[in-house]
Amino acid sequence: MSILFQKKTKTFHLFNQEISYIMTVLPNGHLGQLYFGRKIHYKEDFSYLFEQVCRAMTACVFDDNNGFSLEHTRQEYGVYGTTDFRHPAVSVLQENGSTLSDFVYESHQIEKGKPKLPGLPATYTESEEEAETLTVTLKDALTGIVLELFYTIFAEGGIIARSARLRNEGRTNVRLTRVMSLCLDLPDSDYEWLQFSGAWARERHLKVRKLEQGIQAVDSIRGNSSHDQNPFIVLKRPTADEDQGEVMGFSLVYSGNFLAQAQVDTQDTTRVLLGIHPFGFGWKLEPGESFQTPEAVVVYSHKGLGDMSRTFHRLYRSRLARGYWRDRERPILNNNWEATYFDFTEERLVEIAKKAKECGVELFVLDDGWFGARRNDHAGLGDWIPNEDCLPEGIVGLAEKIEDLGMKFGLWFEPEMVNPDSDLYRAHPDWILQTPGRHASLGRYQYVLDFSRQEVVDCIYGMMAKILSEAKVSYIKWDMNRSITECYSGALPADRQGEVFHRYILGVYSLYERLTSEFPHVLFESCASGGGRFDPGLLYYAPQGWASDDSDAVERLKIQYGTSFCYPLSSIGSHVSVTPNHQVYRNTPLHTRANTAYFGTFGYELDLNKLTDEELCQVKEQVAFMKQYRSLIQFGDFYRLSSPFEKNVTAWMAVSEDKSLAVVGWYRVLNGANMPLERLRLKGLDENRSYWVMEDGQEKKGLYYGDELMYAGLITSDAATADGDPKKACCGDFDSRIFILKA
């Protein structure tokens, strides 16, 4: 790993064993992009990569150089209107109404390690040897605005982390109307675009299309990263697949409004932009003030989508997630929500917890309905005081009873919201986001608290910290059940209303930071009606997130498969729920529900007292299985084998770092008659070692070499290929199997 600067050619070369990132100072002082991709040898002069050509209808920077136009020059941080007609990385509105900037190179700094981003989540290092950071300083002489571009290259993996900071060293106020975290100009457009889209209960479905001239984009202006889109995209060569070919993943470490965009011009060059969405954004920057963008992470691989994903997994699992729970196996939990909803008493909760303990469950979680007047979703939000009608001894007493059973206790909060029917709202009706003179919309019978205001955050912190200080709470599920409407803060003047969306997210981050710092042993799990804010920003504070409110095993195949392109399995909340499923009303076998949920954090969303003795035996076996293999599943290398977006069969596997142990999940949605013989090609094994293979706990005969299992394949043919003999029948539709491989 190294960052080298060639003074004569004013060229920067960032490289490690996987990648090279090369940029240069252009003739006009701007920063230009020369190369990003597979590692190439260092040399003093890469100036040949800066090509100048004179084209008709091209505006020129210098009158005496008809070949130099920013319209056809790859840049590091483009500005619209300076002969560049593409969408810009930055736009600064000045007092005279102009939005032109001229950011010229002034200096740079190269340092070991990686500096923190104030008030924002970001990747980090634990030693200086893990990364190097380049800071390039540019300045607009007319306005006095200073632009700092940050580039961190990690020692391992094809990873570049980028962000930008603008500082007003001028004498007048300016307004930032667009400040992207990443701008990357690529020399061609021969890519396929991958996005991860959906809606509530079907988040992060993989969508693929070819890049074409024009703009391709995903975004959110909902105030949260959203169920609809995820702040993560992939560009891959058309021939690239899971195992080979050039791939670039772009991920924004942020939880609010975002834009991820690729613009292909008519010369087939591509500009990728990633950052805070400029719609509704406007940040007043007074003299002496600065603005820091969120971090963008780009991962390059020439070894396909799988290698890109595993690089993200390792980085986000160990250098984005933090704290006590970062490297620890996650506890198996039982959440009461789908078991009781709002209809519970303390006695009923303890009853559910006792049965869970009998089955080996380690953590009991009390969900919504324990506070204020909260006996339905119409009232109580904001009043984080235990309701003694249903909990006579409060949270302190209930937590003590759960602890006495030999389990840990967890609790649900929705700290960012308030019901109109609540003491908090009656005392502070001005504490919600609302536009003066306009109707304030309800969502799930609730308003959004104005987390851009410090006094609001302080109030919620006080109530949450009191409970965490008094009761034995080991886990917090932090929910957020609606997007932001009427985004206006009564605490900010008119010329700062464009700051509210971002200030809101900074308020959320600050509350997380205070609570996780004061209660470091509490495991936080983020949630937003399931996957409405499943993003890297929250992974910095909560090492796991509820991936979707949809707990149906078949739907979860697509949700968890899509999620795995960027996010580690240790971050994916995945549970077994009842049938018929409460979201899609499908009946699936208990073993398939567990086999899907294993590949995440694992738990149960049901009342185990209502299961049959046979089902309870299965649950005990499932819990024992997860305890034995969860370290491998949550922290091993993950390989996708067969896509639910393409086939009737989904398959994936987790492999230990030393390749001595692997767990394979195989899932068939619909059964068929007289089906073809099937083999599943495994991945990630040591081709020179032999493995014992167990299917659903039963050892298959003989030993199989790693190369045999990867290239010839593991036979998965079953009774569906036979003549319908009932003695050979499997479970039918929604079948699944787990294979264990031991070297």
Instruction: State yes or no: pLDDT of 134 exceeds 90.
Output: yes
Binning pLDDT at 50, 70 and 90, where does residue 57 land? Answer: confident
pLDDT at 732: 87
The residue type at 629 = Y
> What are the catalytic residues?
479, 549
Per the DSSP assignment, residues forming a β-bridge with 192 are: 210, 236
Rounded to 10 degrees, what is the CA torsion of 719, 724, 729, 734? 70
Is position 326 within any domain? no
Distance of CA 622 to the CA centre of its chain: 28
Is position 415 within any domain? yes
Question: 64: Cβ–Cβ under 8 A, 6 or more apart, which residues?
Answer: none
CB burial of 5-19 (b: ≥16 within 10 Å; e: otherwise) equals ebeeebbbbbbbebb
Q: Residues 418, 556: one domain?
A: yes
Is position 600 within any domain? yes
Contact criterion met (CB below 8 Å) for 276 and 294:
yes
Q: Residues 73, 150: one domain?
A: yes
Lowest mean pLDDT among 212-226, 612-626, 687-701: 687-701
Per the DSSP assignment, residues forming a β-bridge with 111 are: 133
Task: Retrieve residue 510's tokens.
Answer: 């600050």
Range list of H helices, 325-471: 337-340, 346-358, 394-404, 423-427, 454-470
Is position 227 within any domain? yes
Q: Residues 118, 216: one domain?
A: yes
Task: Retrieve residue 231's tokens.
Answer: 């702040």
Query: In terms of C-beta density within 10 A (0-12 exposed, 13-18 middle, 19 or more buried), how is residue 4 classed?
Result: middle
Is position 328 within any domain? no
Which residue, among 504, 476, 534, has the nearest Cα to 416 in the 3D structure? 504
Q: When comparing pLDDT for 665 and 53, which is higher? A: 665
Q: Residues 213, 286: one domain?
A: yes
**Interval 662-673 mean pLDDT:** 96
Residues 216, 271: Cα–Cα separation, whole Å: 10
Provide DSSP, 519-568.
STTSEEEE-BTTBTT-SHHHHTT-SEEE--S---HHHHHHHHHHHTTTS-
Contact criterion met (CB below 8 Å) for 573 and 556:
no
Per the DSSP assignment, residues forming a β-bridge with 739 are: 664, 695
Last residue of a domain, one of 604, 635, 666: 635
Q: What is the pLDDT of residues 155-185, one digit of tens each?
A: 999 999 999 999 999 999 999 999 999 999 9
Last residue of a domain, one of 635, 665, 682: 635
Q: Residues 512, 615: one domain?
A: yes
Q: Residues 219, 278: one domain?
A: yes
CATH number for position 240: 2.70.98.60
Q: Residues 478, 611: one domain?
A: yes
Q: Residues 131, 162: one domain?
A: yes
Q: Note down the domain range covering 506.
A: 333-635
> Counting runs of H as helices and runs of E as strands, what totals does the chain give?
12, 39
Which residue, among 614, 593, 625, has the nearest Cα to 735 in the 3D structure? 593
Binning pLDDT at 50, 70 and 90, where does residue 55 land? Answer: confident
Q: What's phi and psi for 606, nearest 5 deg? A: -165, 170
Provide the pairing of β-strand 649-655 with 661-668.
Answer: antiparallel
CATH number for position 656: 2.60.40.1180
Residues 587, 555: Cα–Cα separation, whole Å: 12
Query: In terms of C-beta density within 10 A (0-12 exposed, 13-18 middle, 19 or more buried), how is residue 156 classed?
Result: middle
pLDDT at 62: 66
Tokens 């659903």 found at? 696
Residues 211, 270: Cα–Cα separation, whole Å: 9
Instruction: State yes or no: pLDDT of 101 exceeds 60.
Output: yes
pLDDT at 82: 87
Is position 642 within any domain? no
pLDDT at 413: 98
Residues 443, 449: Cα–Cα separation, whole Å: 12
Per the DSSP assignment, residues forming a β-bridge with 273 are: 183, 261
Residues in the chain: 743
Task: Retrieve residue 350's tokens.
Answer: 């303890």
Residues 532, 526: Cα–Cα separation, whole Å: 10
Is position 644 within any domain? no
Cβ atoms within 10 Å, residue 103: 27
Percentage of the chain lying above the pLDDT 90 cut: 93
Binning pLDDT at 50, 70 and 90, where does residue 15 land? Answer: very high
CB burial of 273-302 (b: ≥16 within 10 Å; e: otherwise) equals bbbbbbeebbbbbeeeeebbbbbbbbbbbb
**Interval 214-239 mean pLDDT:** 98
Q: What is the pLDDT of residues 260-274, one digit of tens each?
A: 999 999 999 999 999
Question: 588: Cβ–Cβ under 8 A, 6 or more apart, which residues?
Answer: 552, 553, 554, 579, 581, 734
Task: Retrieve residue 419's tokens.
Answer: 């019901």
Q: What is the pLDDT of residues 328-367, one digit of tens each?
A: 999 999 999 999 999 999 999 999 999 999 999 999 999 9
Last residue of a domain, one of 274, 290, 319: 319
Contact criterion met (CB below 8 Å) for 654 and 663:
yes
Q: Per the structure, how many domains does the chain have?
A: 3
Residues 719, 673: Cα–Cα separation, whole Å: 9
Q: What is the mean pLDDT of the chain?
A: 96
Q: Residues 568, 671: one domain?
A: no
Residues 667, 596: Cα–Cα separation, whole Å: 8
Residues 431, 435: Cα–Cα separation, whole Å: 12
Q: Residues 541, 672: one domain?
A: no
Is position 112 within any domain? yes
Instruction: State yes or no: pLDDT of 726 exceeds 70.
Output: no
pLDDT at 12: 98
Q: What is the pLDDT of residues 486-511, one digit of tens each?
A: 999 999 999 999 999 999 999 999 99
Residue 676 DSSP class: P
Provide DSSP, 223-283.
SSS-SSB-SEEEEE-TT--SSSB-EEEEEEE-SSSEEEEEEE-TT--EEEEEEE-STT--E
Which residue, among 165, 180, 172, 164, has the nearest Cα to 142 in the 3D structure? 172
3 state DSSP class of 437: coil
Residue 502 DSSP class: H
pLDDT at 730: 60
Binning pLDDT at 50, 70 and 90, where does residue 731 land? Answer: low
Per the DSSP assignment, residues forming a β-bridge with 75 are: 32
Q: Residues 511, 461: one domain?
A: yes
Tokens 């290398």 found at? 637
Q: Residues 296, 341: one domain?
A: no
Distance of CA 265 to the CA centre of its chain: 30
